């Protein structure tokens, strides 16, 4: 399949793969710094830069189609947009999300206006600038494909080089600052990387969807691990695979726009992570919650039985009945009485342990719902029981 795609398509796939890795790694730090959508403002703010660069090239007598110059223009207004977000959110009472929304829509609006200007310029109609909105790799020039592949490689190298200090800042900015990392400079570098990924990705993914490559793989990776560096590695992998697979798929048929396909491949990886991840995944969480709910109800039911209190919850009664601890009329069976007394005794033991600083770690870590003999040695329990009996007449 790959061989049938031609040289350009291969280069695009390589570029998309490199870009995907770089975006996944860079996006992880953006995400861990809780600034995922800043990338959206940056991406949309590239449009006026593209338009202005084109008009400038035409004014200087060129045909305006030099991709490298267009991308430089994109980077300039994107940086300006980033500056605006920062300025609005620090100098006024408006929040950062408001600033992001305002900047992305206004810059984009201004860009759209420039596009209508360009349409009236001779050669403007053929400039293919709207391809930068959603990505268009069909019929791409060889030089452009090389530019993207090289750009992707550079972005990847830079993000790998910076990943250690970025991990430190993302994990704990305060601590990173104390250990001599210049937090402001690392944040700036992260933004620079985001800018670079965005600009390189314009031709492949397009400016509206490029932010997805910065957000989706890190969020998906986050479901599998709590470790920042592993999130970055996993996000890079998912981003890279999405890029290669998406670009490859899109090259096989005319009606498959590259950007959306890459995004949807990444989204599929996200969906799998959301549902299947072992600890944070939806399925795991749901089963865990059900189990926990049963344990709580059972425990509460036993305590109520032991103290002769009424049980108000039907679910609790049903669980007790199912476990053979109460009869259908709500009266405890012999086994139920035994279990209730056990539960009461454990509850009293826990109370002793909670008052004793020596047990702090155990008490803080544990939910206090399970039988104590699964957690402590017989000697420890005996010791607690002595105190228990001494404390109460």
Partner 1 sequence: MSGQVFVALSLTPLLIGVLAAIACAVPGNFLLLRRQALIGDAISHVVLPGIVVAFLVTGRVSAWPMMLGAAAAAVVAVVLIEVIRRLGRIEPGAAMGVIFTAMFAGGVLLLEQSDTSNVHLDVEHALMGNLESLIWLDALGWTSLLDPRALAGLPPELTRLAVVTALVAVLTWLFWRPLKITTFDEGFAHGVGLPNTVIGLGLVILSAVAAVAAFDAVGSIIVIAMFICPPAAARLMTNRLETQVALSVLLAALSAILGYIFAGFGPLWLGFDNSVSAAGMIATVSGLMLLAAAIVGPHRRQT
Partner 2 sequence: MAVTPLSVVPVVPASEDLAVYPLALRGLTVSYGQKPAIFSVDASFVPGQMTAIIGPNGAGKSTLLKAALGIITPLSGHVTVFGKALVDQRQRIAYVPQRASVDWDFPTRVIDVVLMGLYRELGLLGRIRRSHHDRAMACLTRVGMQDFATRQIGQLSGGQQQRVFLARALAQNADLYLLDEPFAGVDAATEKAIIAVLKDLRDAGRTIVAVHHDLATVAEYFDRALLLNVRRIAEGPVDQIVTPDLLERTYGGQLTMARMDPAQTAS
Residues of this chain that bind partner 2 (CB under 8 A)? 93, 288, 292-293, 296-297, 299-300, 303-304, 306-313, 315-316, 341, 344-345, 347-348, 351, 354-357, 360, 363, 366-369, 385, 388-389, 391-392
For the bound state, the minimum distance from the C-beta of residue 331 to partner 2, rounded and expressed in Å, comes to: 12
Q: Considering only 7-15, 260-268, 322-330, 360-368, which stretch makes contact with partner 1 by CB under 8 A?
A: 260-268
Check binding of 75 to partner 1 (CB under 8 A): no
Which of positions 223-252 make contact with partner 1 (CB under 8 A)? 223
Which residue in the set 17, 23, 40, 165 belongs to the binding site for partner 1 (CB under 8 A)?
40
Q: Which of 24, 218, 236, 239 binds partner 1 (CB under 8 A)?
A: 218
Report the residue number, 113 or 188, with the smaller CB distance to partner 1.
113
Residue 282 binds partner 1 (CB under 8 A): yes
Q: How far apart are CA 18 and CA 155, in angstroms?
A: 8
In angstroms, what is the C-alpha Rg of the chain?
30
For partner 1, give the closer residue by CB, 95 or 307.
95
Using CB under 8 A as the binding rule, the residues of this chain from 305 to 364 that contact partner 1 are: none
d(CA 8, CA 122): 28
Q: Does 138 bind partner 1 (CB under 8 A)?
A: no
Stretch that binds partner 1, among 16-24, 97-105, 327-335, 368-376 (CB under 8 A): 97-105
Q: Is 55 in the site for partner 1 (CB under 8 A)?
A: no
Distance, CA of 212 to CA of 210 (rounded, Å): 5
Residue number with CB closer to partner 1 (84 or 372): 84
* E strand intervals along 116-248: none
- Tell me which residue has tokens 């900015």: 173
Q: Which residues contact 358 (CB under 8 A, 6 or more apart)?
A: none
Q: What single-letter DSSP state applies at residue 309?
A: P
**130 is a contact residue toward partner 1 (CB under 8 A):** yes
Q: Comparing C-alpha atoms, which of 134, 269, 151 is closest to residue 209?
A: 134
Calpha distance 197→67 (Å, rounded) = 15
The verdict on 280 binding partner 1 (CB under 8 A) reads yes
Sole binder of partner 1 in the list 247, 263, 326, 340 (CB under 8 A) = 263
Q: Which of residues 41 and 149 has its CB atom nearest to partner 1 in the complex?
A: 41
**In the complex, what is the shortest distance from the CB of residue 114 to partner 1, in angstroms, rounded to a whole number?**
8
Q: Which is nearer to partner 1, 101 or 177 (CB)?
A: 101
Cα 131 to Cα 89: distance, rounded to the nearest angstrom: 32
Whole-angstrom Cα distance, residue 346 to residue 352? 10
Is the distance from CB of 321 to CB of 328 less than 8 angstroms?
yes
CA distances from 146 to 43, 137, 243 (A): 22, 12, 16
Residue 131 binding partner 1, by CB under 8 A? no
Unique residue bearing structure tokens 């430190």: 168
Per rule CB under 8 A, count of chain residues that contact partner 1:
63
Closest CA to 42 of 108, 98, 88: 108
| DSSP character at residue 372 | G
Question: Under the criterion CB under 8 A, does residue 21 sit at the interface with partner 1?
Answer: no
Six-digit token string for 187: 């944040």
Is 364 buried (19+), middle (13-18) or exposed (0-12) by CB count in 10 A? exposed
115 binds, among partner 2, partner 1, none (CB under 5 to 8 A by kind): partner 1
| CB closer to partner 2 out of 118 and 311 | 311
What letter would DSSP give residue 326? B
What is the CB-side half-sphere exposure of residue 355 using CA atoms within 13 A?
A: 9
User: Measured from the CB atom, is 65 or 345 closer to partner 2?
Assistant: 345
Q: Which does 256 bind (CB under 5 to 8 A by kind): partner 1, partner 2, none?
A: partner 1
**Helix axis angle, 46-59 relative to 67-91, nearest 10°?**
140
Question: Which member of 58, 85, 140, 215 binds partner 1 (CB under 8 A)?
Answer: 215
Q: Which residues bind partner 1 (CB under 8 A)?
A: 31, 34-37, 39-40, 44, 87-88, 91-95, 97-98, 100-102, 104-117, 120, 130, 133-134, 208-209, 211-212, 214-216, 218-219, 222-223, 255-257, 259-261, 263-264, 267, 270, 274, 280, 282, 285
């Amino acid at each position: 399949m790959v061989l049938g795609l031609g040289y350009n398509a291969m280069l695009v796939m390589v570029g998309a793969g490199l870009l995907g890795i770089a975006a996944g790694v860079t996006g992880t730090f953006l995400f861990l710094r809780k600034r995922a959508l800043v990338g959206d403002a940056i991406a949309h703010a590239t449009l006026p830069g593209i338009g202005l660069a084109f008009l400038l090239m035409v004014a200087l007598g060129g045909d305006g189609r030099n991709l490298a110059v267009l991308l430089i223009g994109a980077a300039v207004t994107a940086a300006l947009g980033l500056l605006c977000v920062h300025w609005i959110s620090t100098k006024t009472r408006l929040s950062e999300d408001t600033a992001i929304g305002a900047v992305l829509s206004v810059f984009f609006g201004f860009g759209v206006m420039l596009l209508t200007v360009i349409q009236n310029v001779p050669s403007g109609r053929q400039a293919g600038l709207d391809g930068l909105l959603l990505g268009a790799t069909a019929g791409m020039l060889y030089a452009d494909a090389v530019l993207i592949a090289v750009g992707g490689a550079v972005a990847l190298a830079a993000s790998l080089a910076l990943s250690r200090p970025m991990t430190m800042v993302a994990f704990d900015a305060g601590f990173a600052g104390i250990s001599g990392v210049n937090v402001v400079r690392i944040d700036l570098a992260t933004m620079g990387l985001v800018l670079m990924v965005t600009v390189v990705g314009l031709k492949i993914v397009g400016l509206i969807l490029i932010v997805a490559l910065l957000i989706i793989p890190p969020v998906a990776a986050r479901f599998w691990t709590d470790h920042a560096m592993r999130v970055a590695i996993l996000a890079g992998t998912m981003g890279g695979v999405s890029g290669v697979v998406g670009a490859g798929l899109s090259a096989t048929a005319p009606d498959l726009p590259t950007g959306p396909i890459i995004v949807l491949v990444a989204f599929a990886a996200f969906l799998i992570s959301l549902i299947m991840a072992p600890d944070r995944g939806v399925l795991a969480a749901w089963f865990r919650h059900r189990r926990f709910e049963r344990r709580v109800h059972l425990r509460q039911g036993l305590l109520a039985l032991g103290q002769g209190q009424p049980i108000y919850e039907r679910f609790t009664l049903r669980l007790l009945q199912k476990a053979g601890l109460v009869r259908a009329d709500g009266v405890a069976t012999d086994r139920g009485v035994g279990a209730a007394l056990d539960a009461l005794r454990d509850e009293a033991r826990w109370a002793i342990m909670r008052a004793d600083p020596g047990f702090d770690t155990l008490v803080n870590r544990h939910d206090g719902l399970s039988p104590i003999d699964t957690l402590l040695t017989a000697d420890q329990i005996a010791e607690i029981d002595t105190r228990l009996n001494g404390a109460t007449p």
